[in-house]
Each structure stands twice: as C-alpha cells, then as structure tokens.
Amino acid sequence: MRVIKASEGTSQERTGQPIFEGQVWGRGLVEGEGHLTASIVQFAVGGRTRMHTHTSDQLLYVVAGIGKVGTAEGEQLISTGDVALIPAGEAHWHGAGDSGSPMSHLTVMRADSETEVLG
C-alpha cells in the first residue's frame, strides 16, 4: 500500500497544452505506478478540453464546481459529486466551459491509455 499525502506534489498550469482551451491546472496523483493513472484537473471559467478520445475508459468525478461534458450528440451539466464514465474510443470533451463556474474533477484511466486530440 502507498498513501499519497495532500502535501505531496503541486498543481502545474496546463494552459496552452494542445488538449486544453482556457486556463487549466492539474496535479498528477498516481502516475507510472500499477495499472491506473489519476489526477485532479482544475478548470477556470471557460476552461475545457478539446474534443478527444482515449484508448481506455475514463472516469471523471467532480470534486468542486459546475462543469460540462459533451459528445457530438450534445452536452450535459455536471456538478460536485457527479460521475461521468466515458467509454474507450468515444469522442468527448469536459471542463468548466460556459457553465459560469470553475470546476475541478478527478480523472482515472488505465496507465497505458493513449489520448488523441480531434480538434
């Protein structure tokens, strides 16, 4: 067992990375250990991902704020305590978007998952 204390690690600004629009910060929680990767991602108002896919399922758990998740078919509001489960290969985006609120979520995926930004 490994316990990762809140005092370990820091959030890094991710603004400007190809997958993100707007201001975004992230903190890796579990990376390169075992079969899962997990991080906390914080989106400022207007911040979100671009449409993308992953080669594994992705679980998003909203820890604070109000955000949105979307696919080509539409979008849904998500807020604190909500979970979005995105199947492998499904084109989607997520973040605070135009919800008027910042949003933070925990993301969990397989460690070997690959991400493709679609646009």
pLDDT band at 7 (very low <50, low <70, confident <90, very high): confident
Return the domain boundaries, the chain: 12-114
To the question of pTM greater than 0.85 for the whole model, the response is: yes
**In terms of CATH, what superfamily is 12-114?**
Jelly Rolls (2.60.120.10)
pLDDT band at 41 (very low <50, low <70, confident <90, very high): very high
- Averaged pLDDT, 1-6: 86
- The first and second tokens of residue 78, run together, are 């998500």
Residue 97 has pLDDT above 90, yes or no: no
Residue 28 near residue 40 (C-beta atoms within 8 A): no
4 DSSP β-pair partners: none
Which amino acid appears at position 45 of this protein? V
- Averaged pLDDT, 66-88: 97
Q: Considering the chain, what is the average pLDDT of its residues?
A: 95
Residue 96 near residue 39 (C-beta atoms within 8 A): no
DSSP string, 10-72: --EE-TTSTTEES-EEEEEEEEEETTEEEEEEEE-TT-EEPSEEESS-EEEEEEEEEEEEEET
> What pLDDT, on a 0 to 100 scale, did the predictor assign at position 33?
75
Residue 17 near residue 46 (C-beta atoms within 8 A): no
pLDDT band at 34 (very low <50, low <70, confident <90, very high): confident
Residues making up the chain, counted from first to last: 119
